[in-house]
Amino acid sequence: MAVLPIKTFPDPVLSRVCRQVNEVDDDLKQLSQDMLDTMYAAPGVGLAAPQVGRDLRLVVIDCTPRDQEPQPLVLFNPRIVEMEGQVVFEEGCLSVPDFTSDVTRAERVVVKAMDAEGRPITVEGNGLMAICLQHELDHLEGRLFLDRISPLKRSLYKKRRVKQIKRGDE
């Protein structure tokens, strides 16, 4: 088990568009396992590769309640191919410490990707799973949920975060 350090705002890796994965090799399988370990330890329900400093199109997700058997999902090169509905949900992020805000997302999404073995997979998400998929895929485009909230709320958080960093409260 390897728990990786999580990058936090304003680390520049979080604002980069990530590279496609050409082939799922042993190193990437290990990275995805380390990301799952990191996500569970945090604890979180999703984690994208840039959050651990890697600019790769890789996300891990597990929206299963903690009192149930984990059902991890590993997605390489995920892309949304279908969206419908609309829902507002209070989101937080492991890379955006001490902040949550309402974000409007699609209520249902369909994602195509490669699984942990490099095979094609289609995932349909509703509710929390749909929100998590959209949140994590935003990371692969260099976006945080901060980019989806009002400019005033975003500005207030950024100012507070800069003060935290200066004080050493990271």
Q: Is 23 a catalytic residue?
A: no
How much is the average pLDDT of 61-78?
95
- The residue range of the domain holding 59 is 12-167
107 is a domain residue = yes
CATH number for the domain that contains residue 160: 3.90.45.10
114 is a domain residue = yes
Residues in the chain, total: 170
1 is a domain residue = no
Tell me the CA distances in angstroms from 41 to 12, 31, 37, 106, 120, one per residue in order: 24, 15, 6, 28, 28
What is the total count of domains within the chain? 1
3 is a domain residue = no
**pLDDT score, position 170:** 64
2 is a domain residue = no
Alpha carbon dihedral 132, 137, 141, 142, in 10-degree steps, equals 40
Q: Confidence class of residue 152 from pLDDT cuts 50, 70 and 90?
A: very high
- The single residue of 23, 82, 91, 136 carrying the catalytic annotation is 136
**pLDDT score, position 168:** 80
- Residue 17 carries which DSSP code? P
pTM over 0.95: no
Above 80 in pLDDT, residue 1?
A: no
**pLDDT score, position 66:** 84
Above 70 in pLDDT, residue 144?
A: yes
162 is a domain residue = yes
> Which residues lie closer than 8 Å to 165 by C-beta, 6 or more apart?
none
Backbone angles phi, psi at 33, to 5 degrees: -65, -40
112 is a domain residue = yes
Q: Confidence class of residue 153 from pLDDT cuts 50, 70 and 90?
A: very high
How much is the average pLDDT of 53-75?
95
Above 80 in pLDDT, residue 169?
A: no
Compute the distance between CA of residue 170 and CA of residue 152 in angstroms, rounded to an integer. Answer: 22
